[in-house]
């Protein structure tokens, strides 16, 4: 598993793609299951073409390692409710509303929902409806964007209707 992950990271680089998440496991019927999350390195919209490149690399690795039998392969892109994997992701999405799950309690809370206000060094400042939190990066278990559907729909209408 580690070898395949490293292979994909190495091969994705020259294609200007980043592997954000990689999971590989065997199911009860001994199928190999792969879930790969990919993004363009320039942060532009990642599409089917980029997913297809990673799909081909994954299949090549499986074939070269005699594992190309029964495989369930999913190569996907981060959605509007994308996971945040790094401090750089938090910096990139300053101003966005997020869900944050913590490894331990802060002010008697393990789950927070609020806006990313800033990121300095390894501290994320998050503002909820009632208070402001300064969270050490190493306390973040999991985090994701909460899409602003009103804003998204307004932008989509503007693109399609010009209004």
129-138 pLDDT, tens digit each = 889 999 999 9
CA–CA gap between residue 92 and residue 94 (Å, rounded): 6
Q: Which fold has domain 2-76?
A: GMP Synthetase; Chain A, domain 3 (3.30.300)
User: Please, where in the chain does CATH 3.30.300 lie?
Assistant: 2-76
Average pLDDT across the chain, whole number: 91
- With a CB cutoff of 8 Å and minimum separation 6, the contacts of 73 are 34, 36, 55, 58, 59
**pLDDT tens column, 54-105:** 999 999 999 998 886 788 999 999 988 999 999 999 999 999 999 999 999 9
pTM for this model (two decimals):
0.79
pLDDT at 156 exceeding the cut of 90 = no
User: Please, where in the chain does CATH 2.30.30.100 lie?
Assistant: 87-149
Burial of 107 (0-12, 13-18, 19+ CB in 10 A): exposed
CATH class of the 87-149 domain in this structure:
mainly beta
């Amino acid at each position: 598993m580690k070898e395949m992950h490293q292979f994909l990271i190495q091969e994705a680089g020259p294609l200007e793609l980043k592997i954000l998440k990689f999971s590989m496991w065997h199911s009860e019927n001994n199928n190999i299951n792969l879930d790969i999350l990919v993004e363009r390195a320039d942060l532009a919209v990642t599409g089917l073409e980029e997913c297809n490149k990673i799909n081909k690399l994954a299949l090549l690795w499986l074939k070269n390692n005699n594992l190309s039998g029964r495989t369930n392969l999913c190569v996907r892109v981060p959605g509007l409710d994308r996971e945040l994997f790094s401090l750089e992701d938090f910096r990139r999405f300053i101003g966005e509303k997020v869900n944050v799950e913590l490894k331990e309690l802060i002010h008697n809370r393990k789950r927070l929902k609020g806006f990313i206000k800033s990121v300095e060094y390894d501290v994320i400042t998050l503002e909820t409806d009632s208070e402001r939190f300064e969270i050490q990066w190493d306390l973040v278990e999991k985090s994701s964007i909460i899409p602003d559907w009103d804003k998204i729909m307004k932008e989509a209408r503007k693109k399609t209707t010009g209004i």
